Amino acid sequence: MPDIPPDLPAAGLLRRLAAILYDSLLISALWFGVATVFLSLSGGRLSAPDRPLWLLYTFRATLLLVTFLFFGWFWTRGGQTLGMRAWRLKVVAGPGQAITWSQALRRFAAAGLSWAALGLGFWWVIVDREKRAWHDRLSGTRVVVLPKPR
């Protein structure tokens, strides 16, 4: 991967939220696929009283795993999800380095905390001098805006 110049501007909140919106559409499609498999395995009644609880918990864990694998794959293989690509964003570790799976896991978990705190971890970008969200700080990453292609 070519080095990313260290002087690229950090991504602001609105651009990040726009990329999240794009990616949420893709995640929804993946979730529909997972739900289709689980519904067909459960006869169309995943959470019925006569169904074992492990089936519902397995379904939820699978949704979480699929979501992590989506983000982890894109973040570790080029630093951009499809939504980030559309908005010219890239997640990097250090001066242009790709993030590791360990960083991706920390970033994903911390982003969950950011959402759980009513989005406060994302809003943090507005007050942070380096425009880093909680999950950027906790994973040792940053999100930069790539220059427009020539």
What pLDDT does residue 1 have? 41
Is residue 115 one of the residues assigned to a domain? Answer: yes
* DSSP 8-state secondary structure symbol assigned to residue 92: E
Sequential DSSP letters for 61-78: HHHHHHHHHHHHHHHHTT
Is residue 6 one of the residues assigned to a domain? Answer: no
Is residue 112 one of the residues assigned to a domain? Answer: yes
Q: How many domains does the chain have?
A: 1
Strand partners, 92: 142
**What does pTM read for this prediction?**
0.90
- List pLDDT tens digits, range 96-116: 789 999 999 999 999 999 999
Is residue 61 one of the residues assigned to a domain? Answer: yes
Is residue 108 one of the residues assigned to a domain? Answer: yes
- List pLDDT tens digits, range 51-70: 888 888 999 999 999 999 99
42: number of Cβ within 10 Å: 16
Is residue 83 one of the residues assigned to a domain? Answer: yes
